[in-house]
């Protein structure tokens, strides 16, 4: 950010970046959503336009950031040390997040004391849960199968990278970017120089565009929040309140732990860390799209907190794509909810199974959007022999309420993991010029 | 359907010709089946003496209401006569017998059209077609299911299926689910509580009764899944005496003109009041 621009005596565009303006617009949006539903519905397309605008820049940034960083690291022969740390940090943090979610579910018992009649009515009224109407004597159309782990593994490799790019297959794009980065790092310096310069330029250009888009954030958030709140039914909110509260309490604890980690690693003061990360958090909450937050998160870690750009540019996209911390935490609480609802005791082996499968299911959600994310719960429930269909409807119904926090956790934890893996900044961001 | 209509029409014309040419019978405005009811001034409708909501049941004030009652009243009104519901019959087969003995003009009593009954009476076209269905315990299904998917699992059902003892569903269940073991219970409530406890995997009955449970006790949806078999049909129709094809013809015209287009869901929505008393 250039300092001269801030000194405009008449009107500063930077006023739009003021956190208070952003918060007030969010609250205004919530108010519209709660009391002026029709107006909120009218605002929804503008909210979607805003998210599209952010997403527009994501793919170039994802590819250029990952390929550039990986190529650069390999050329500097620093990749090996990172790789070890990366594997350890990502797997340990994922397992810890999941274990924390499961434990909270065991302690707080969100799946007990429910008003089953209200929940049942919500299931019956849902267009997603009709009677299963099937032919008995004649052959049926092949039914849609719930996602399985094998399908996910097979689907990681893109057959056509352009298809993946145009169809939001972010995991496939990430794999492609990693392979690209590896190749760049391993060819001769002379040959790869130009490509690296190009990738760096692409990254900078799209980051600049994102900076411009952020100016419209208050308006975008207002529309998004109005739309979101207008879609929440009070009945389902009240009947699932225990689950929702448990998840949000868990999420808040994870947020605090993350902030402490980043604070300790960055060397800046606690309040500076908070203010540096507020933009990615607000964006994640408002847009409910982790990737849309990527440029802002990279900016916060490098520009504000002064972490090494090469490593954060690689680690944050990796974390965002593969380690969906928010989904892992949500799934963990959800599994305990379902087990309690059906009075199924999991036992030690069941809990171990739940721990492993939840982490895998969380990873399998990368690249998935909307209802597909929730249906990944099947990956955990199938080995645990628990039914999903009925509860899935309930989870879909409350998703507008929990999705913002889920995204925040994914983004924030990715930042925190990135800060653990990369080296401490030489000068803390707070004191850097 | 067309064939049948044609057949009925031919029967009707032949009978009309016979009657018109018969000595001693003067030509009438109406055909004799209808004239008979007109002369009596009332339409006698046979109905089983037990409530079968939403087809026929008694409310708190002791008034008879329901789909079959509505049909009976509407037909009588069309014919411009009074209606009388005769509920002496204790079983469905007795209702048929009453029509055979001409103690009633028509039976409107949630009667399933069967070949056996068709030997004795004439059935109209069905006014509603019910299908067979299952309620499946979700947890048990998840525990015993394999990788074939739910449809595969249901059509090859293994495990215990609960049915009402000595009902037609015992036989249906044996034929449709040869790999399952059939458990008979004395009442439908017993079947449902066994299903909830998980001592049977599934409960088997018609679509209407299955959906009634879900509506009366929505909470059960968390625990059980409803399944309807689209290609199983239980046509529900009115029955008239075999020697009154005139009335049959008229009733079929009535049903065609009214075009009720009923199904289980519409019927349950129309009579949703029957669930408010709470069957818990």
Q: Which domain holds residue B16?
A: 2-129+235-275
**CA angle, A230 as apex, A225 and A231 as ends, to 5°?**
105
Share above pLDDT 90 across residues of chain B, in percent, rounded to a whole number:
39
pLDDT category at B13 given cuts 50, 70, 90 is confident
B218 vs A123: CB contact, 8 Å cut-off? yes
Does B269 contact A at CB distance below 8 Å? Answer: no
- Which whole-number Å values give the CA distances from A413 to A96, A269, A404, B18, in the listed order? 12, 19, 14, 92
> How confident is the model at residue A15, as a pLDDT?
75
Q: Are residues B13 and B109 in the same domain?
A: yes
Does residue A163 lie within any of the structural domains? yes
Higher pLDDT, A255 or B206: A255
Q: Which CATH number belongs to the domain containing residue A292 in this structure?
A: 1.10.3860.10
Structure confidence at residue B265 (pLDDT): 86
Distance CA B88, CA B94 (A): 9
List the single residue in B139, B149, B227 with the smallest CB-CB distance to A131: B227
Identify the pLDDT of residue A367. 65
Q: Facing residues of B43 across strands? A: B83
Q: Are A111 and A328 in contact (CB under 8 A)?
A: no
- Look at residue B280 and tell me if it is in a domain: no
Domain count, chain B: 2
Whole-number pLDDT of residue B25: 46
Q: Which residue has the higher pLDDT, B30 or B199?
A: B199
What phi, psi does A213 have (nearest 5°)?
-65, -30
pLDDT of residue B100: 93
Q: Average of pLDDT values for B232-252?
A: 91
Flag whether B253 is in a domain: yes
The mean pLDDT value for A90-99 works out to 94
Residues of A in contact with B178 (CB under 8 A): none
Which of the pair, A385 or A137, is modelled with greater confidence?
A: A385
The reply to whether B118 and B158 lie within a common domain is no
Under an 8 A CB cutoff, do B139 and A342 touch? yes
Q: Is residue B110 part of a domain?
A: yes
Residue B245 has pLDDT above 80, yes or no: yes
Distance CA B81, CA A110 (A): 62
- Asked if residue B173 has a cis previous peptide bond (ω within 30° of 0), the answer is no
Residues B54 and B82 in one domain: yes
Whichever domain contains B246, its CATH number is: 3.40.190.10
A202 falls within a domain: yes
Q: Which region among A287-291, A315-319, B180-184 has the lowest average model confidence (pLDDT)?
A: A287-291
Q: Which A residues 285-344 touch B at CB under 8 Å? A: 341-342, 344
Q: Considering only CA atoms, which of B169, B185, B164, B145 is closest in space to residue A382? A: B145
Q: Same structural domain for residues B119 and B220?
A: no
Q: Does residue A8 carry a pLDDT above 60?
A: no
- In this prediction, the answer to ipTM > 0.90 reads no
Whether A22 maps to a domain, the answer reads yes
A174-195 pLDDT, tens digit each: 889 989 988 888 887 887 888 8
Is there a contact between B221 and A124 if contact means CB atoms under 8 Å apart? yes
Would you say residue A1 lies in a domain? no
Q: Which chain A residue's Cα is nearest to B228?
A: A133
Instruction: Nearest by CB to A387, from B142, B151, B211: name it.
Output: B142
Q: Is residue A429 part of a domain?
A: no
- pLDDT: which is higher, A344 or A258: A258
Domain for residue A8, yes or no?
Answer: no
In terms of domains, do B151 and B182 share one? Answer: yes
Which pLDDT band holds residue A419 (cuts at 50, 70, 90)?
very high
- Of residues B251 and A5, the one with the higher pLDDT is B251
Q: Is residue A268 part of a domain?
A: yes
* Contact (CB<8Å) A131/B222: no
- B174 and B155 assigned to the same domain: yes
A430 pLDDT more than 80: no
pLDDT for position A3: 45
Of B139, B155, B226, Cβ closest to residue A136: B155
Q: Is B7 on the interface with A (CB under 8 A)?
A: no
Structure tokens at A51: 């998210």
> How many structural domains does chain A have?
1
In a domain, B58, yes or no: yes
Q: Which of B150, B223, B231 sits opposite A132 (nearest CB)?
A: B150
pLDDT band of A432, cuts 50, 70, 90: low
First-residue to last-residue Cα distance in chain A? 11
* pLDDT tops 80 at residue B22: no
For residue B142, the chain A residues in CB contact (below 8 A) are 381-382, 385-388
C-alpha distances (whole Å) from A229 to each of A30, A79, A235, B262 are 6, 45, 13, 38
Instruction: Please check the confidence at residue B24 and state whether its pLDDT lies above 50.
Output: no
- A151 in contact with chain B, both atoms CB, cutoff 8 A: no
Residue numbers of the domain that contains A383:
15-132+145-421
Q: Is the pLDDT of residue B279 over 50?
A: no
Q: Which residue of A has its CA nearest to B210?
A: A131
Q: A121, B218: Cβ pair inside 8 Å? A: yes
The pLDDT tens digits for B159-173 are 899 998 877 788 889
Cα–Cα distance between B135 and B225 in angstroms, integer?
A: 6
Q: Which two tokens stand for residue A64?
A: 């250029």
């Amino acid at each position: 950010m250039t300092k001269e621009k801030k000194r405009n005596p008449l009107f500063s565009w930077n006023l739009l970046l003021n956190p208070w303006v952003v918060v007030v617009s969010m609250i205004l949006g919530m108010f519209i959503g709660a009391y002026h539903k029709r107006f909120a519905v009218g605002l929804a397309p503008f909210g979607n336009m805003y998210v599209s605008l952010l997403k527009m820049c994501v793919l170039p940034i994802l590819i250029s950031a990952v390929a550039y960083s990986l190529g650069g690291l390999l050329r500097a022969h620093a990749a090996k040390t990172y790789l070890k740390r990366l594997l350890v940090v990502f797997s340990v943090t994922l397992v810890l997040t999941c274990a924390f979610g499961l434990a909270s579910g065991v302690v707080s018992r969100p799946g007990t004391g429910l008003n089953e009649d209200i929940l049942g009515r919500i299931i019956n009224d849902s267009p997603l849960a009709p009677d299963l109407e099937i032919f008995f004597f004649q052959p049926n159309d092949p039914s849609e199968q719930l996602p399985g782990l094998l399908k996910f593994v097979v689907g990681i490799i893109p057959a056509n990278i352009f298809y993946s790019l145009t169809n939001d297959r972010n995991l496939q794009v990430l794999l492609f970017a990693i392979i690209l980065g590896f190749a760049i790092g391993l060819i001769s310096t002379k040959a790869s120089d130009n490509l690296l310069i190009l990738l760096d330029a692409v990254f900078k250009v799209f980051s600049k565009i994102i900076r411009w888009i952020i100016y419209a954030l208050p308006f975008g958030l207002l529309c998004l929040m109005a739309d979101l709140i207008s879609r929440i039914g009070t009945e389902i909110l009240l009947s699932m309140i225990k689950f929702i509260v448990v998840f949000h309490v868990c999420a808040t604890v994870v947020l605090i732990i993350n902030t402490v980690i980043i604070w300790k690693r960055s060397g800046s003061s606690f309040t500076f860390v908070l203010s540096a990360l507020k933009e990615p958090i607000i964006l994640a909450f408002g847009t409910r799209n982790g990737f849309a937050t990527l440029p802002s998160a990279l900016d916060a870690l490098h520009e504000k907190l002064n972490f090494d750009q090469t490593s954060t540019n690689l680690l944050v996209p990796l974390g965002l794509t593969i380690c969906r911390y928010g989904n892992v935490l949500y799934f963990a609480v959800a599994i305990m909810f379902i087990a309690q609802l059906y009075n199924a005791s999991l036992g030690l082996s069941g809990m171990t199974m739940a721990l492993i499968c939840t982490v895998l299911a969380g990873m399998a959600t990368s690249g998935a959007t909307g209802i597909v994310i929730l249906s990944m719960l099947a990956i955990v429930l199938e080995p645990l022999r628990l039914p999903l269909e009925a509860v899935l409807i309930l989870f879909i119904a409350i998703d507008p309420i929990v999705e913002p926090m889920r995204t925040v956790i994914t983004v924030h934890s990715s930042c925190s993991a990135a800060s653990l893996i990369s080296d401490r900044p030489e000068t803390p961001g707070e004191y850097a010029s | 359907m067309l064939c049948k209509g044609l057949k009925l029409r031919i029967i009707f014309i032949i009978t009309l010709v016979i009657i018109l040419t018969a000595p001693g019978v003067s030509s009438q405005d109406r055909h004799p089946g209808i004239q008979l009811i007109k002369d009596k001034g009332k339409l006698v409708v046979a109905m089983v003496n037990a409530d079968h909501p939403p087809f026929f049941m008694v409310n708190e004030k002791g008034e008879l209401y329901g789909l079959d009652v509505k049909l009976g009243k509407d037909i009588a009104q069309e014919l411009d006569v009074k209606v009388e519901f005769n509920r002496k019959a204790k079983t469905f087969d007795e209702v048929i017998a009453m029509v055979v003995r001409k103690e009633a003009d028509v039976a409107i009593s949630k009667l399933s059209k069967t070949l056996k009954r068709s030997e004795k009476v004439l059935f109209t076209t069905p006014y509603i077609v019910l299908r067979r269905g299952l309620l499946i315990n979700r947890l048990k299904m998840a525990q015993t299911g394999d990788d074939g998917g739910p449809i595969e699992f249901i059509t090859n059902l293994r495990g215990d299926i609960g049915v009402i003892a000595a009902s037609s569903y015992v036989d249906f269940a044996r034929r449709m689910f040869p790999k399952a073991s059939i458990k008979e219970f004395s009442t439908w409530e017993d079947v449902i509580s066994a299903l909830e406890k998980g001592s049977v995997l599934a409960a088997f009955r018609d679509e209407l009764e299955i959906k009634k449970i879900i509506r009366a006790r929505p909470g059960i949806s968390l625990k059980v899944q409803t399944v309807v078999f689209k290609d199983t049909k239980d046509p529900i129709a009115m029955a008239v005496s075999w020697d009154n094809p005139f009335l049959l013809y008229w009733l079929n015209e009535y049903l065609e003109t009214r075009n009720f287009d009923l199904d289980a869901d519409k019927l349950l929505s129309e009579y949703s009041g029957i669930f408010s008393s709470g069957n818990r």
